[in-house]
Amino acid sequence: MSGVRPQALVLDFGGVVTRTLFETHALTEQALGFEPGTLDWRGPFDPASDALWRSMQADEISERDYWKTRTREVGRLVGEDWRDMSTFVQRARGADPQAVVRPEAELAIRIARDAGVRLAILSNELDLFYGKSFRERLPLLSLFEVIVDATYTKVLKPDAQAYALVGEALKLPLRACVFVDDQKRNVDGAVAAGMRTVHFDVAEPARSYAEALGHFGLTLS
């Protein structure tokens, strides 16, 4: 990719811009009236104890399948029939969307924006999981020039067309985009599409954002 200057930062949303539901179990338990420790699935933070997560990582089920199952489980715990991930997210964290934004994400996004880097979101489930009202109550998203959401496009990462759609929306070649995602399969898809990439580590968000900004000669400070 020598000779092509990176011009756009393309971020996944859930896990990258916002903290994962795994990280906010205490908030969820409080919001839903559960005893502390009720939610014991930890996904990437403890794969050994989360067989369903391991199935997803092995491509036996999709990420959507994983969260559909967790949604039904938590719904049953409150005595309701939950079918939509957005129900889970809104009940667990809908009161204050800003509370679940990663501070490292907000800092990095503003640093990039102030430096003239173009910003885009490429998500498999932004409105599907979070609901449109959540997005509308998150001022940070107004800084993004482009939001490509498979809730509407129906094209899921790591399909090559998903990455092509964000390139077309930005009117940039994909080699001029730096893509950040916490799922390795999506990063691999972006590499195949010709993008620069950062495999986001949910356990080390500051390091991952520093790596992303480094592509533009910027630092997280």
pLDDT the model gives residue 77: 98
Spatial CA neighbour of 172 closest among 155, 191, 194: 194
From residue 91, give the alpha-carbon distance in Å to each of 33, 34, 49, 96, 121: 11, 13, 25, 11, 24
- Give 92 or 60, the one with higher predicted confidence: 60
Mean pLDDT computed over every residue of the chain: 94
Spatial CA neighbour of 26 closest among 17, 37, 15, 14: 37
Q: Over range 165-187, report the average pLDDT.
A: 97
pLDDT at residue 94 greater than cutoff 80: no
Q: How far apart are the first and last CA of the chain?
A: 27
Percent of the chain with pLDDT over 70: 98
pLDDT at residue 2 greater than cutoff 60: no
Say which range, 2-6, 24-28, 85-89, 124-128, has the weakest mean pLDDT: 2-6
pLDDT at residue 220 greater than cutoff 90: yes
Q: Are 123 and 12 in contact (CB under 8 A)?
A: yes
pLDDT the model gives residue 134: 83
pLDDT the model gives residue 130: 87
Instruction: Report the distance separating Cα 195 and Cα 135, nearest Å.
Output: 26
- What is the full DSSP assignment across 140-176? GGGG-SEEEEHHHH---TTSHHHHHHHHHHHTS-GGG
User: Which pTM value belongs to this model?
Assistant: 0.93
Q: Are 83 and 71 in contact (CB under 8 A)?
A: yes
